[in-house]
Amino acid sequence: MNKTVNQKAWLFVIPVFVLVAFNAIIPLMTVVNYAFQETFGNNVFMWEGTRWFKQILLSDRFHAALGRQILFTLIILFIQIPLGIFIALTMPKEGIGVSVCLVLMSMPLLIPWNVVGAMWNIFALPDIGFLGHSLNALGFDYNFTQQSGDAWFTTVLMDVWHWTSLVVLLSYAGLRSIQPAYYQAAEIDGASRWSVFRHIELPKMKKVLTIAILLRFMDSFMIYTEPFVLTGGGPGNATAFLSIDLVKMALGQFDLGPAAAMSLIYFFIVLTVCWVFYNLMMKNEGQS
Amino acid sequence: MSLELRNVEKKIGQETHIYETNLKLEKNTINVLLGSTLAGKTTLMQIMAGLDKPTNGEIWFNEKNVTGVKVQKRNVSMVYQQFINYPNFNVYDNIASPLKITGVDSNEIKNRVGKVAELLKLSPMLNKRPNELSGGQQQRTALARALVKDSDLILLDEPLANLDFKLREELREELPKLFEDRDCIVVYATTEPSDALLIGGYTATLLEGKIVQHGKTLEVYNQPNSLQSAQVFSDPPMNIAKIKKQGDVCSLISDDVSWKINSKLKDGEYKVGIRPHNITTYKEGSNSLEISGKVLISELSGSESLIHFTNGDLNWVSLSNGIHQKNVGEQTKLFMNSDEFLYFDESNKLVNNV
């Protein structure tokens, strides 16, 4: 057989390559470039090797931000995943209620992130906000702009409000794909509601839940806009999560080198966690 | 032990899914529910199981009215078209699951699961999970779960439909043996007449929510009470032609083919039903009739030849053993075995024995 050589196919790859180059490769490489150099402006750069990486990895400030970030993400996952599954389980399975619930559930997801932050900021203001005022009227000493516990409470509540729907929608889709015969078979066995959940619904939702956890992990680990608008990282540094701290370093102090090194470390943490988690979850999955 | 449906009817909204049905299934029998998709097989089974309630009528089990008694209290097991197993249990735990729920002692469970697994050739894969098994093995697991329980009623809803050809053949041969020495009633729903013939026992033919006929499988096949029952129980579809009877001579209306019959039927118009395998490229039986036609389609399936042809204004199907190649458009001669003809009157009732 004669194979004809035709390199024209490469022409078709070029647009994608250019696009990816501009939106991913070039910016990332710029960051890599900064991470190994020092600059005092005027486009003059000096080689610094791994100095910034060592500095970041050993700095208390980074440890504190990372600690806050991990705590926040864990809280978010532990609330949103079970809550999302629970809501999905209680949603109607047929009739008009389905569309009503789906639309209601999608609403928070459609609101721009900074608007969510601004909404909750006003909503939680202790003097005029509905939430803040009500809490104070009920006798709680609530002020998210001054007490770090309250700031955390408000940030978590905001995120739960904003993102639980995503878990609900994914879980609901997973639940709907279970064939009715599974429920009948369990009914014939006389299985309890809990066993049906534990041994049919949960395993059948495993794949969508893996995606849900991954998405919620990535989003919450990289959260910026909403807490920036709500608390600005405060009071003090109480809600300064990784990306808020990063922006402070890069744009506030203009420490380009350390900020770039921190970005890369940040990026590798997210990448590694996602990779390990995904592979663990999918380890025993066959083709089915 | 017997299962009886008394005047059972099922309506959903304005739509009738099952028309008034009376059916009695006896102890230690396999009963095939034969009918096309949407004929009401699954609905009927769910009513039998207690997964669904009839709109009207009663279900009696062992001379006791069990209408409305929940499925968990009825000692029923069911196998579905889809391979339904607990996804995160291995084969052993899957088979053991109905026993564990009812609190059977663990040695007893081990014993019974071992036996059933042996019967269904699952012993080497007791530690595997469903998604590591082939479709055939998954369905064997589901069957084992149904058998391990010693149910009074085992319902099989097209259990072989999702399997590929070889696995289907294999399991189909084993199935009747599995139920041989069991003290239970088995109901097997299928769309395929060949399944019914292979399984034997009793068959009920279903058409559009009505049971057309119920009786011993071979009797239903050989003596369908009506054209509908014969049609349900024939694959490829039965050839139906109008005939005229005058004296002891019958002739096709659409062509001048005629033959003698010995019957007390009144003169007049009838319909004749001829199963495809009774029209062949070779003579069969002592009363062979020649019929000619133009070949529409000619296909080989395994060692059989399926020839579709036109005669008069009708399309006919013939099924011959062996390989007989015909060209499309070719004028051809075939032979009908008139001993096997089924005669129906105007109201589609079988009149062979009159």
Residue A287 has pLDDT above 50, yes or no: no
Does residue A38 fall inside a structural domain? Answer: no
Mutate to test the interface with B, among A189, A192, A206 (most CBs of B within 10 A): A189
Mutate to test the interface with A, among B78, B84, B90, B149 (most CBs of A within 10 A): B84
Closest chain A residue to the Cα of B80, Cα to Cα: A181
Alpha-carbon gap: B88 to the closest alpha carbon of chain A (Å): 6
Does residue A26 fall inside a structural domain? Answer: no
Q: What is the largest CA-CA distance in chain A?
A: 86
Does residue A32 fall inside a structural domain? Answer: no
Residue A200 has what pLDDT? 92
Using a CB-CB distance cutoff of 8 angstroms, which residues of chain B are in contact with residue A202? 88
Are A286 and B71 an interchain contact pair (Cβ–Cβ within 8 Å)? Answer: no
Residue A288 has what pLDDT? 41
Using a CB-CB distance cutoff of 8 angstroms, which residues of chain B are in contact with residue A282? none
Residue A41 has pLDDT above 80, yes or no: no
What's the average model confidence in pLDDT over B192-218?
A: 90
For B327, list phi and psi in degrees, rounded to 5: -90, 145
B174/B354: higher pLDDT: B174
Residue B247 has pLDDT above 70, yes or no: yes
Mutate to test the interface with A, among B74, B77, B86 (most CBs of A within 10 A): B86
Does residue A178 fall inside a structural domain? Answer: yes
Residue A70 has what pLDDT? 95
Of A191, A202, A285, the CB nearest to B131: A285
Q: How far apart are CA A216 and CA A211, in angstroms?
A: 8
Q: Which domain holds residue A222?
A: 47-281
pTM value is 0.79
Residue B124 has what pLDDT? 92
Residue B354 has what pLDDT? 56
Domains of chain B (ranges, CATH numbers): 2-227 (3.40.50.300), 239-344 (2.40.50.140)
Of B84, B97, B101, the CB nearest to A181: B84
Residue B353 has what pLDDT? 61
Residue A250 has what pLDDT? 84
Residue B115 has pLDDT above 70, yes or no: yes
Q: How far apart are CA B298 and CA B319, in angstroms?
A: 10
Residue B72 has pLDDT above 90, yes or no: no
Domain count, chain A: 1
- The closest alpha carbon to B102, from B75, B62, B137, belongs to B75
Alpha-carbon gap: B203 to the closest alpha carbon of chain A (Å): 24
What's the average model confidence in pLDDT over B104-108?
A: 88
Are A200 and B87 an interchain contact pair (Cβ–Cβ within 8 Å)? Answer: yes
Task: Write out pLDDT tens, residues B248-302.
Answer: 888 888 888 888 887 778 888 899 999 999 999 988 878 888 898 899 999 988 8
ipTM above 0.90, yes or no: no
Are A190 and B78 an interchain contact pair (Cβ–Cβ within 8 Å)? Answer: no
Does residue A114 fall inside a structural domain? Answer: yes
Does residue A123 fall inside a structural domain? Answer: yes
Are B72 and A190 an interchain contact pair (Cβ–Cβ within 8 Å)? Answer: yes
Using a CB-CB distance cutoff of 8 angstroms, which residues of chain A are in contact with residue B130? 288
Does residue A21 fall inside a structural domain? Answer: no
Q: For residue B331, what are the β-bridge partners?
A: B294
Tell me the pLDDT band of A276, cut-offs 50, 70 and 90: very high
- CB count within 10 Å of CB B30 equals 25
Does residue A257 fall inside a structural domain? Answer: yes
State the virtual CA torsion across A178, A180, A186, A187 in degrees, nearest 10.
Answer: 150
Residue A176 has pLDDT above 90, yes or no: yes
Residue A1 has pLDDT above 90, yes or no: no
Residue B108 token pair? 């007893």
Using a CB-CB distance cutoff of 8 angstroms, which residues of chain A are in contact with residue B88? 199, 202-203
Q: How far apart are CA A200 and CA A58, in angstroms?
A: 47
With an 8 Å Cβ cutoff, the interface of chain A facing chain B consists of 179, 181-182, 184-185, 187-191, 195, 199-200, 202-204, 284-288
Residue A284 has what pLDDT? 67
8 Å CB contact between B212 and B206: yes
Alpha carbon B265 to chain centroid distance? 31
**CATH number of the domain within which A112 lies:** 1.10.3720.10
What's the average model confidence in pLDDT over B101-122?
A: 89
- The closest alpha carbon to B337, from B268, B294, B243, B273, belongs to B273
Residue A283 has what pLDDT? 81
Mean pLDDT, chain B, rounded, equals 88
Q: Where are the alpha helices (DSSP H) in chain A?
A: 9-20, 26-35, 51-58, 60-90, 96-110, 113-124, 130-137, 148-176, 180-189, 193-196, 202-204, 206-221, 225-230, 242-247, 256-282
Mutate to test the interface with B, among A182, A183, A188, A198 (most CBs of B within 10 A): A188
Residue A286 has pLDDT above 80, yes or no: no
Q: At what angle do helices B135-148 and B165-178 cross, to 10 degrees?
A: 10
Are B101 and A199 an interchain contact pair (Cβ–Cβ within 8 Å)? Answer: no
Question: β-strand B331-337 against B279-280: which pairing, if any?
Answer: antiparallel
Q: How far apart are CA B238 and CA A237, in angstroms?
A: 83
> For residue A235, is the peptide bond before it cis, meaning its omega torsion is within 30 degrees of 0?
yes
Residue A177 has pLDDT above 60, yes or no: yes
Task: Write out pLDDT tens, residues B162-196.
Answer: 888 888 888 888 888 888 878 889 999 999 998 89
What is the C-alpha R_g of chain B? 24
What's the average model confidence in pLDDT over A12-24?
A: 90
8 Å CB contact between B119 and B147: yes
Residue A285: helix, strand or coil by DSSP?
Answer: coil
Residue A104 has pLDDT above 90, yes or no: yes
